[in-house]
Amino acid sequence: MNRREVLLSVGASATLLACSGDGTTDGPGTEPTPAPDRPAEPEPWAAPGTYDEAAFGWSLLAGDATTDGVVLVARTTEPTVDCVVVAQDGTGWTEVARKTGVTSTEGSVRIELDGLTPDTAHNWILASADGARRTLVGRFRTAPTNDGHRKLVIGATSCLNPGGDVGFPGLSFAATERLDAFLLLGDTVYADGSRTVDEYRAFWRGVCATPSFRDLVASTSVIATWDDHEVANNWTLGAGDGFNETLIDQAWLDDATFAFKEAIPMRPGPNGGIWRKLSYGTIADILVMDCRGERQEDVRIVSDEQLQWVTEQLAQSQAAFKIVMVSIHAADHSALLGFIEEEDRWQGYPSQRDVLVAAAEAVPGVLFVTGDMHYGAIQKLSPAGEPGEGLWEFAVGPSGSEVFLLSTLVNLANDEVASQYPVVLEDWNWGRLTLDPGLMTATLELVGDDGSVLGSMIIPF
Using CB under 5 A as the criterion, which residues of the chain lie in contact with Fe ion when the complex forms?
159, 187
The least CB distance from residue 292 to Fe ion, in Å, is: 12
The C-alpha torsion from 22 through 17 and 325 to 238, rounded to 10°, is 140
263: β partners: none
The least CB distance from residue 142 to Fe ion, in Å, is: 31
Cis amide prior to 34 (ω within 30 degrees): no
Give the 3-state secondary structure percentages of the chain, helix then strand then coil, rounded to 5.
25, 30, 50
Does residue 236 sit in helix, strand or coil? Answer: strand
Q: DSSP states of 383-437 as a string?
A: -TTSTTTT-EEEE---SSS----GGGTS-TTSHHHHHH-SEEE-S--EEEEEEET
The least CB distance from residue 258 to Fe ion, in Å, is: 21
| 229 versus 277: smaller Cβ distance to Fe ion | 229
The least CB distance from residue 395 to Fe ion, in Å, is: 12
| 277 versus 374: smaller Cβ distance to Fe ion | 374
The least CB distance from residue 372 to Fe ion, in Å, is: 6
Q: Give the CB-side neighbour count of residue 336, counting CA atoms within 13 A.
A: 28
The least CB distance from residue 189 to Fe ion, in Å, is: 10
Does residue 214 sit in helix, strand or coil? Answer: helix
138: β partners: 124
Q: How far is CA 376 from CA 16, 160, 373, 392, 444, in A?
A: 18, 13, 8, 13, 11
| 228 versus 297: smaller Cβ distance to Fe ion | 228
Residues 6+ apart with CB under 8 A from 149: 35, 36, 282, 283, 437, 438
| 292 versus 380: smaller Cβ distance to Fe ion | 292
* Residues counted in the chain: 461
The least CB distance from residue 187 to Fe ion, in Å, is: 3
| 57 versus 206: smaller Cβ distance to Fe ion | 206
The least CB distance from residue 227 to Fe ion, in Å, is: 6
| 159 versus 207: smaller Cβ distance to Fe ion | 159
| 157 versus 347: smaller Cβ distance to Fe ion | 157
φ/ψ of 344, rounded to 5, equals -105, 20
| 370 versus 441: smaller Cβ distance to Fe ion | 370
> Distance (Å, rounded) from C-alpha 335 to C-alpha 225?
28
Determine contact, residues 167/212, Cβ cutoff 8 Å.
yes
CA 90 to chain centre: 31
| 159 versus 335: smaller Cβ distance to Fe ion | 159
The least CB distance from residue 167 to Fe ion, in Å, is: 17
Single-letter code of the amino acid located at 372: D
The least CB distance from residue 326 to Fe ion, in Å, is: 14
Q: How far is CA 119 from CA 38, 72, 124, in A?
A: 9, 17, 16
Determine contact, residues 281/146, Cβ cutoff 8 Å.
yes
| 187 versus 445: smaller Cβ distance to Fe ion | 187
Does residue 207 sit in helix, strand or coil? Answer: helix
| 119 versus 342: smaller Cβ distance to Fe ion | 342
Burial of 209-248, coded b for 16+ CB within 10 Å and e otherwise, reads: ebebbbbbbbbbbbbbbbbbbbbbebbbbeebeeeeeeeb
The least CB distance from residue 398 to Fe ion, in Å, is: 6
